[in-house]
Structures are given as structure tokens and as C-alpha cells.
Structure 1
Amino acid sequence: MGVREDARRGGIDLTPWGKFDRGAWAVYPLLFHLLDVAALAGVVWDRYLTRGQRRLIAAGLGLTLAEARCLVMFVAGLHDLGKLSAFQEQEAYPWARVSDILRADTCNWQRMPHERASMHSVLHLLAEAGYPADTSDSPGVLVAQILGGHHGRFLQVDIDGAAKASRVNLALGAVWGSDLREARWCAGPGW
């Protein structure tokens, strides 16, 4: 069964949008955008990094070349996960197409830049996947900071404040939004 068939049978909700072209009124699902970026990271790894660069990255991560490639793709794919937030409401046309289930979870959404929302939500997904995220220099926190800076402004992760799980769930949609983010990405680099 493919993603589209699964969506029709009550599986993955493809209504959250990742890209919107105002000129063509074209809405592109968030999940597809994230998968596109992950695939592009694999192409960059394969075609643009030298063998020495790939080895250096893999060694720094303590992984094989194949494992490092998967991890780089996984992290790249997480970059806009924060768009599963109040970001969805900023454009009327794609927002009108968002499912009732997602709309029902928006009562507590707080506005924040989607890159900050990515940073905060990914921090907890990585911790649940086994990446240490308890100190400011732990791998989960550093990856979260990279994702939070994907538009060029790198932010500090306040692991004991704004990035605490309880505050993140409150700001980004407590139950369904967190479940959807987790369902899409907690599988990790073994996908």
C-alpha cells in the first residue's frame, strides 16, 4: 500500500501543507516536501561530497558511510517539521484544505517561526529515538540547533525552558500534532 492509499484509509494525513504557490494555487503536502529534501540530501551526499568528505563526516558521527548517509538524509528531512504548527494557518487557501482532525488540535497553537518549532519538536523526537538531548552540547541538542538555524539564524536551545516537552506540546498542539510528528519521523534513519 502506498502513501496515497494509506491516506485514503485513515492513515497518514496529507493535508498539512509544506509549500504553497500563490500564482498557481498549488498546495504541496508537508510530508512530500520533507521526503523531497531527504532525497536531495542523499543526492548531495552521493554526487557532490568527495569520498574524503563522506569519510570525515561518517568518522565524526562514529558510523559507517551508509549509516552516515541515512542519518544525514533523516536529519535533512526533519528541517521543516515545525511547519506542523500554527504555520499552517498563515495562508488561507491551503489552511482551508487542512483536515478537521488537524484543525481540532489548533486551539492551543502558539505562533512561532517554523524553524524554531522544528528545533523544539525534533529535540524530543531525537531524545525518544535514543539520541542524548540532556545538555547543551549533546547530539540531539546540536542537531536541533542545526535544524532551528536552517534559515541562517542559529538559536540556543533552552532545554530547561521553552524546549521542555510539556511547553513544546502546549505550543505546538498537544496530542494529535505530537502524535503525527512522531508517526512520521520516529522510525529514524532505518527507513
Structure 2
Amino acid sequence: MKHPGELVRALRQRRGLTLEELAIRSGMSKGHLSRFERGEKSVSVAGLMRVSQALHTSAAALLGEQVDKGLLHVVRAGDRHYRREKGTEYDYAALSSANGEDGPTALIVRLSSEAVVKEAAFHSGDEIFFVLSGAIEIELADQSIIVREGDFVQFPGLIKHRLRSVGSDAQVLIVVTGANSE
């Protein structure tokens, strides 16, 4: 089981609170809370209750006994909203929550038959592609690879990359981790 401090940090960040704001709301010192979040210190039951109240959750959620709804993000298939940028041959739906954190960015990209993403992308972090349907060609700097339905590819985002549909419409789950995608 993870240390409860890790859940406190995740909830605090999700709620947009600084360590100092949580310290004020819970009546605990900023230093103690910081060490608790890193797993270096523990807190009393009373302290855990104050922290849970400050985060508008339960002590059970902080102990991993319940799931705090603030940690879940669900996008139902029928609730996806696809967007198309002007001048592109693809559309996309954002899956990950837009809360400004440095967490993963997940998208479903739909490419029409023979669509080409004209501009190469690059960014920090890793990029993960999982082909949901169809086939795509991924250009990675000086090489290219064709991946089909069910195939998985992972590579550093710093490698310039772009993609195109091969033969028919394609859908790709793209996840960017460890970076604010550019």
C-alpha cells in the first residue's frame, strides 16, 4: 500500500492547493505536511482527520480504504467531444482531465484515409501510441514504422515525430507522459 501522504499530495494538487494553504486549513506545519507527503513522517489520527477535512474527503480515503471521487476521471464513450484544428486532416478527443497538472495527457486521434499530420511534434516526456483501428505510419526522425490495430509503440517525445493513416481510417490512443505536451 502507498503511504497516505502520497494520496494527500495527489488530492492537494488535484484541488489546486499549495502546501502552505493546506497547512493553514489543517492547522499543521508546512514542513510536517511536506515530510508526510514524502513518506518521511506520519501524522496522528487527529492530524489525519484535520487534513481530510481540509481536503473535503474522508480519513478512510486518505488511508486507501475508499476511493475519493476527486482522484477519478472517467470519460464515457458517448461523452467524447472530437475537435478538428483548421487545416488538419484529423480530429481528436481529449481523454485526460484538464487540471493543469503534469500528469499524462491522453487523446484519441482519428485519421481519415490517407490523412497526414503535416507538422512534426516533439516535447519532453514519453509518447505512447496504441492503434485502436486501422493502420498508421509513424515517422521518427530518420526512420518510419507502420503499426496496425492492436500494436503498441513507445518512444521519447524529444524525437521529432508525425503520423499518417495507411490505407483506411485509423484511430490511435496517444498518451504523453512526464511532460506538458507542446
Instruction: Give TM class, smaller chain.
Output: under 0.3
Greater share of residues in helix: 1
State the structure with more CA Rg.
Answer: 2
TM-score normalized by structure 2?
0.21
TM-score normalized by structure 1?
0.21
